[in-house]
């Protein structure tokens, strides 16, 4: 069973799904952010992060609301991954403060946070010996613990997650035998099964072909609408970000450069300021959506 290898989901700081926590046989009545009546998921106040004398981020101030998909865009090294790690509590801020669901982020208990927030890093841990279904089932760990009962509700969440991520046909396959794109969707199935109110995704489509990029981002958008999720997603392609995100947030050299709706951001001068190259924009021939290209 998957409980025999809980270390596979561990990451620096808090584990991905806090599998290092003491097992419990009871389900605590903890609400997810999607069930709490708050409008703001994150409030970021003058947050900076530095390693030694090198500042990687900040100061940055932002408010991120429920029921929206935010796309973090910018050049390599702009601070996107650093910001999302701070929000996931994988790193501690050097200065400033982050509030999550109207409570300081550092005051959330580890398992309580795992029920409210799901995080997928750029590089996922090894899942040696686990099938896709077992990996997806790990997403239910914060709700019952290693020795808790895996019940009908958990199975329902797992099967729904496999279906939504188009992984039903791979359910009994070993994760380490999958292609890069299939493996990424298996991890996404685990996040969906977790049923948290906030999803933090760091380049989740980097290993996917075009068809599955569209499927995954469409799924993320649909989940946000149906479950009132706040989704914060790092993307390199501004066109994909504009198509599936409600708002784009551009970082440059560790600072917030600008933010706005896709229509506001997909302009030649704005894109040049973000990426440092001349870019043109034309309307999609069917949808009219602005499409950016390098001139």
Helix 152-164 to helix 180-194 angle (10° resolution) is: 140
Q: Which of 51, 52, 46, 98 is nearest to 255 (CA)?
A: 46
Q: Is 19 exposed, middle or buried (0-12, 13-18, 19+ CB in 10 A)?
A: buried
pLDDT confidence tier of residue 268, bands split at 50, 70 and 90: very high
In the numeric block, the tokens 């040049």 are attached to 272
pLDDT at 7: 32
| Residue 76, number of CB atoms within 10 A of its CB | 7
Question: If you average pLDDT over residues 140-153, what whole number do you get?
Answer: 80
pLDDT at 20: 32
pLDDT at 140: 93
Long-range contacts of 173-182 (CB under 8 A, 24+ apart): 173/131, 173/132, 174/129, 174/130, 174/131, 175/127, 175/130, 175/131, 175/132, 175/135, 176/126, 176/127, 176/128, 176/129, 178/132, 180/207, 181/207, 181/208, 181/209, 181/212
pLDDT confidence tier of residue 157, bands split at 50, 70 and 90: very high
Asked if residue 182 has pLDDT above 60, the reply is: yes
Q: Which of 203, 198, 168 is nearest to 71 (CA)?
A: 203
Question: If you average pLDDT over residues 273-288, what whole number do you get?
Answer: 93
Asked if residue 8 has pLDDT above 90, the reply is: no
Alpha carbons 138 and 151: distance in angstroms, whole number: 13
Asked if residue 236 has pLDDT above 70, the reply is: yes
pLDDT at 145: 62
Give per-residue pLDDT as tens, 71-117.
Answer: 999 999 999 999 999 999 999 999 999 999 999 999 999 989 999 99
Asked if residue 126 has pLDDT above 90, the reply is: no
pLDDT at 13: 39
Does domain 11-127+196-260 correspond to CATH entry 3.40.50.2000? no
pLDDT confidence tier of residue 121, bands split at 50, 70 and 90: very high
Alpha carbons 238 and 251: distance in angstroms, whole number: 13
Report the run of H or E that residue 66 belongs to, with start and end: none
| Residue 8, number of CB atoms within 10 A of its CB | 20
Task: List, in sequence order, every beta strand (DSSP E) within the chain.
Answer: 40-51, 54-65, 69-73, 95-100, 103-104, 117-120, 198-202, 230-234, 247-252, 255-260, 279-283, 290-294
Q: Tokens for 253, please give them.
A: 């050299």
pLDDT at 206: 85
Q: Tokens for 227, please give them.
A: 């479950």
The rounded mean pLDDT for the chain is 86
Better-predicted residue by pLDDT, 56 or 58: 56
Phi-psi region of 95 (alpha: psi -120 to 50; beta: other; left: phi over 0): beta
Count of all residues that appear for the chain in the document: 295
pLDDT confidence tier of residue 144, bands split at 50, 70 and 90: confident
What are the sequence ranges of the domains in the chain? 11-127+196-260, 261-295
Out of 41-50, 78-87, 144-153, 219-228, which region has the weakest mean confidence (pLDDT)?
Answer: 144-153
In the numeric block, the tokens 């072909």 are attached to 209
Out of 135-149, 157-171, 200-214, which region has the weakest mean confidence (pLDDT)?
Answer: 135-149
pLDDT confidence tier of residue 219, bands split at 50, 70 and 90: confident
Residue 136 in contact with residue 183, Cβ under 8 Å? Answer: no
Asked if residue 1 has pLDDT above 50, the reply is: no
């Amino acid at each position: 069973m998957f409980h025999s290898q809980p270390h596979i989901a561990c990451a620096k700081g808090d584990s991905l799904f806090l599998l290092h926590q003491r097992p419990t046989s009871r389900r605590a009545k903890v609400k997810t952010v999607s069930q709490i009546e708050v409008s703001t998921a994150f409030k970021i106040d003058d947050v900076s992060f530095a390693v030694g004398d090198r500042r990687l981020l900040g100061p940055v101030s932002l408010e991120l609301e429920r029921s929206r998909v935010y796309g973090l865009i910018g050049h390599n090294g702009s601070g996107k991954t650093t910001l999302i790690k701070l929000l996931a509590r994988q790193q501690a801020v050097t200065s400033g403060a982050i509030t999550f669901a109207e409570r300081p982020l550092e005051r959330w208990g580890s398992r309580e946070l795992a029920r409210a927030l799901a995080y997928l890093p750029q590089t996922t841990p090894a899942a040696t010996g686990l099938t896709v279904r077992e990996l997806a089932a790990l997403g239910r760990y914060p709700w019952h613990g290693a020795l808790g009962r895996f019940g009908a509700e958990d199975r329902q969440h797992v099967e729904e997650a496999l279906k939504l991520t188009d992984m039903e046909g791979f359910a009994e396959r070993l994760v380490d035998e999958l292609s890069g794109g299939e493996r990424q969707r298996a991890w996404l199935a685990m996040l969906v099964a977790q049923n948290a109110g906030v999803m933090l995704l760091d380049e989740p489509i980097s290993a996917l072909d075009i068809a599955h990029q569209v499927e995954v981002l469409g799924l993320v958008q649909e989940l946000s609408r149906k479950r009132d999720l706040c989704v914060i997603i790092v993307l390199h392609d501004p066109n994909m970000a504009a198509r599936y995100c409600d708002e784009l947030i551009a970082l440059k050299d560790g600072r917030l450069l600008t933010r706005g709706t896709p229509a506001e951001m997909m302009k030649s001068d704005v894109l040049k300021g973000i990426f440092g190259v001349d870019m043109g924009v034309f309307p999609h021939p069917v949808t009219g959506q602005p499409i950016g290209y390098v001139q």
